[in-house]
Amino acid sequence: MSSLLSRVKARLAREHGFTLVELLASMAAGMVVLGGLVTVISVALQQTTYTFTRVDATERARSMLAHVEDELHSACLVNGATPIQGGAGNTQASDSSNLVFISQFGTSASPTPVEHRITYNVAAGTLTEYTYTATTGGSDPTKWTFSSTPTNANGRLLLNHVSQIVSGSAIPVFQYFSYEPYTDQNGNPAMMLMDGTATVPGTTNLPNPDPLAVPLTTASSSAPSVAEVMVNLLVGAQGGTLENTRLSSASDPVTDSIVLRFTPPANAAGGTATFGPCA
């Protein structure tokens, strides 16, 4: 027993420590572990921030698009009214950056129309809505005229931190489509909206998008024939405010788009069928 105690005492009395090689090896191993831990935490924080950014952008985009959709759904006021406006001279016209349309909410049998202009400002990255009251009205839509001064001088901001979608080239924020003829699988003539989002019924053929030329005019082949409006946007995070300090900048965009149809696609052509808005 005394021999064992002697050996233990001798071992405890030693002052030998780690060698420099052992210390460096331990430090290197610790740095590897620490580096891996920092990487995991950094990636997790980046993904969380990016997720918050996309959620914020999507929520704001959906709110704006729902607002526009509600207003466009009330654009078919009376027979003969053209929902999407085209113009000539000094009148307002819909184009790739301006959506001009008439609508009116309410229960009146003869609603008073209101003209709306939703403008995309490329420099500011905003969508702003302006409204114009009717200066001449009545039940005849061909006699409707609207004030040249908006009721809301500064407009209503619908969405900020927005930009155009770029796929090779910039895609217009607003695109307009009218019904066009096609031949179905049985060789029968029919009509559809060639917006590039749907195949020809009965086939796998996906026609290329064929939007109307802008600015729209009052000619029969332009504004009066618009039966579909497509809105294409890249929406970034709000950012810059206290409640959004967790969000990354607008360089993390989310794509949001919506197709607004005034009438369902017709399933046949010929006869007395009408292929246009509010038919």
**pLDDT number for residue 89:** 52
Distance between alpha carbon 203 and the CA centroid of its chain, in Å? Answer: 29
**pLDDT number for residue 95:** 93
The tens place of each residue's pLDDT in the chain, 279 residues long, gives: 667 667 766 666 665 666 777 778 888 888 888 888 888 887 777 777 777 777 777 788 888 888 888 888 888 777 667 888 887 655 788 999 999 998 876 666 666 788 999 999 999 889 999 999 888 766 677 778 888 889 988 899 998 888 888 878 888 999 998 888 887 777 777 788 888 887 877 778 888 888 999 999 887 678 888 888 888 888 876 654 434 444 455 445 566 666 777 765 555 555 555 667 776
